[in-house]
Structure 1
Amino acid sequence: MGDTRGEKTHTCGTICLKYLLFLFNILFWLAGGAVLAVGVWTLVEKSDYISLLNSSFYSASAYILIAAGLIVIVTGIIGCCATLKEMKSLLIVYLVLLLCIFLMEIIAGVLAYVTYQECFPFCYQLDEELRQNLKVTMQQKYQQEGEESITQAVDRLQQEFKCCGSQNSSDWSDSVWIQREDNVRFVPDSCCKTPSELCGRRDHPSNIYKVEGGCIMKLEEFILSQLYILGAVAIGIAFLQLVGMMFTCCLYQNLRDDPY
């Protein structure tokens, strides 16, 4: 009887399921690491824009990615342990975690898609308050004492997105810094296509960026494209998890039929 039980426990089907599920968990773990890395990168590299928008939306998105990455990594580790050790109770925990992550990803993906669709007909317009915040921030805080981080963020924004001003370059005419008596510039030097000292004295289209819609439009397009990609990836990974849940259920069934 002992030999028969051993043969049943290690049938070809069970072994294949174990290795398929183990391979899935490795990929799942790597995906979690990638999501975590993107979240950290977003928070570190793009944190300048958070202060410009005066909104928690961007930082919240980054923290959600980091949390999701950590949860996926932990879930992947649990899945590997449950698969290799053939622990039925741990397989149930793993299956429940997969199901919870699956539901969260579906919800997040649908919400991201709905938000993108609602914004699209209005030319990628975000909340008007965000637009006004960016304009006021650029006009009131640029090159002001104690606002060095804002100044660097504005310069980086204008250079990275090749734009000038919140909605257009004329926004700078109301800037506290531009209106100073000792300032000979019309726009910051970061508005120039080829930045150099005092290049902002000439605001001709051949010298500075004259983008219709200004930096707010560029920033909106960037954030909404990231939101759209995030939603599509979340839904794609969620359906991939269905395969993992199917493998888990099959392996659990085989182990339950062959108790030891």
Structure 2
Amino acid sequence: MGAYEEKKETCGTICLKYVLFTFNFLFWLAGGVVMAVGVWTLVEKSDYISLLSSKTYAASAYILVLAGAIVMVTGVLGCCATFKEQRRLLRVYFVLLLCIFLLEILAGVLAYIYYQQLNEELKQNLRETMIKKYEQKSYEDITRAVDKLQQEFKCCGSNSSADWAASIWIRSRESENRVVPDSCCKSPTESCGRRDHPSNIYKVEGGCISKLEKFILDHLKIIGAVGVGIACVQIIGMVFTCCLYRSLKAEPY
């Protein structure tokens, strides 16, 4: 009877090992996805981040990059701990899983909080950023971001093209009688911003605020879903780790 129980426990342990190994491989792949989403946010869309006064959006992306990197390292550690059957490594693995879980929940919560306050922030800050910092010294990143925003989303001004009338640059000699930046034009050419007729520039209802808000909200949903989704999967990994740890502890040395 004792031999049967020992064999039964050994079979259970072997099954747990292979289940946990499979989980770790998938977990490692998921870590790459998480890190890719964070890096894409910071690199591909970094210009738009400069238009936001709050750092919450960027912080969510940085957390995902960090969590993704730790996930990939943890996945390798989990495989080693599983096949070497070392309880000490399993403890370290479990702690890392818990840390990643908390990081990704934090990223999801930050994304949700920022989701709620984004509209108000854009209303308060985007127009002011455009009229006070566009084409001003030491704000080259803002100028580049605004031009990219207006061209990529086919919009002009914060709420409308009329916002540019209050721009420091538009009122200066450097604008060379432009009424809007050249990036407002449907076919941008040098000094095309001197004519603000609808046939020449973008006249979008809601201006660039509505376009940028939709873009960031959609991306926040991705950040939040990825963070919380992977975190929920990790709960399964932690349960399997605990089961394997108890199984190994029960076995004789």
Measured at CA, do residues 65 and 102 of structure 1 come closer, stay the same or move farther in structure 2, by a change above 3 Å? closer
Letter in structure 2 aligned against 1:54: S
For 2:155 and 2:224, the matched residues in 1 are separated by 27
Matched, 1:83 2:77: no
CA contact (8 A) 1:29 1:76 kept: yes
Matched, 1:126 2:125: no
Q: Can you list the C-alpha shifts for 1:152-197, whole angstroms capped at 9, x where unaligned?
A: 1111111122211111110111112222346232211111222222
Corresponding residue for 2:23?
Answer: 24
Corresponding residue for 2:205?
Answer: 212
Measured at CA, do residues 96 and 192 of structure 1 come closer, stay the same or move farther in structure 2, by a change above 3 Å? same
Corresponding residue for 1:165?
Answer: 157
Measured at CA, do residues 176 and 112 of structure 1 come closer, stay the same or move farther in structure 2, by a change above 3 Å? closer
Aligned residues: 249
CA contact (8 A) 1:162 1:209 kept: yes
Measured at CA, do residues 231 and 17 of structure 1 come closer, stay the same or move farther in structure 2, by a change above 3 Å? same
For 1:227 and 1:149, the matched residues in 2 are separated by 22
Letter in structure 1 aligned against 2:161: S
Structure 2 counterpart SS, 1:177: helix
Measured at CA, do residues 126 and 70 of structure 1 come closer, stay the same or move farther in structure 2, by a change above 3 Å? farther
* 1:243 shift after superposition: 2.0
Corresponding residue for 1:148?
Answer: 140
CA contact (8 A) 1:163 1:211 kept: yes
Q: Can you list the C-alpha shifts for 1:2-38, whole angstroms capped at 9, x where unaligned?
A: xx79x84994433332122112112212222222232
Corresponding residue for 2:95?
Answer: 96
Question: Which segment drifts farther, 97-106 or 34-43?
Answer: 97-106
Structure 1 counterpart SS, 2:198: coil
CA contact (8 A) 2:177 2:194 kept: yes
For 2:31 and 2:63, the matched residues in 1 are separated by 12
For 2:132 and 2:111, the matched residues in 1 are separated by 33
Structure 2 counterpart SS, 1:91: helix
CA contact (8 A) 1:186 1:202 kept: yes
For 1:44 and 1:233, the matched residues in 2 are separated by 18
Matched, 1:245 2:245: no
> Normalising by structure 2, what TM-score?
0.85
For 1:38 and 1:87, the matched residues in 2 are separated by 33
- Give the unaligned 5+ runs of structure 1: none
CA contact (8 A) 2:82 2:90 kept: yes
Structure 1 counterpart SS, 2:177: coil
State the percentage of identical aligned residues: 67
For 2:107 and 2:54, the matched residues in 1 are separated by 19
Matched, 1:227 2:226: no
Matched, 1:255 2:248: yes
Measured at CA, do residues 148 and 38 of structure 1 come closer, stay the same or move farther in structure 2, by a change above 3 Å? same
- Give the unaligned 5+ runs of structure 2: none
CA contact (8 A) 2:61 2:223 kept: no
> Normalising by structure 1, what TM-score?
0.83
Letter in structure 1 aligned against 2:83: L
For 2:141 and 2:113, the matched residues in 1 are separated by 34
CA contact (8 A) 1:9 1:258 kept: no
Note the aligned Cα RMSD (angstroms).
Answer: 2.7
Corresponding residue for 1:61?
Answer: 60
Structure 1 counterpart SS, 2:247: helix
Q: Can you list the C-alpha shifts for 1:18-73, whole angstroms capped at 9, x where unaligned?
A: 12211211221222222223222322222222332233223322221222122222
Measured at CA, do residues 105 and 253 of structure 1 come closer, stay the same or move farther in structure 2, by a change above 3 Å? same
Measured at CA, do residues 155 and 114 of structure 1 come closer, stay the same or move farther in structure 2, by a change above 3 Å? closer
For 2:139 and 2:107, the matched residues in 1 are separated by 35
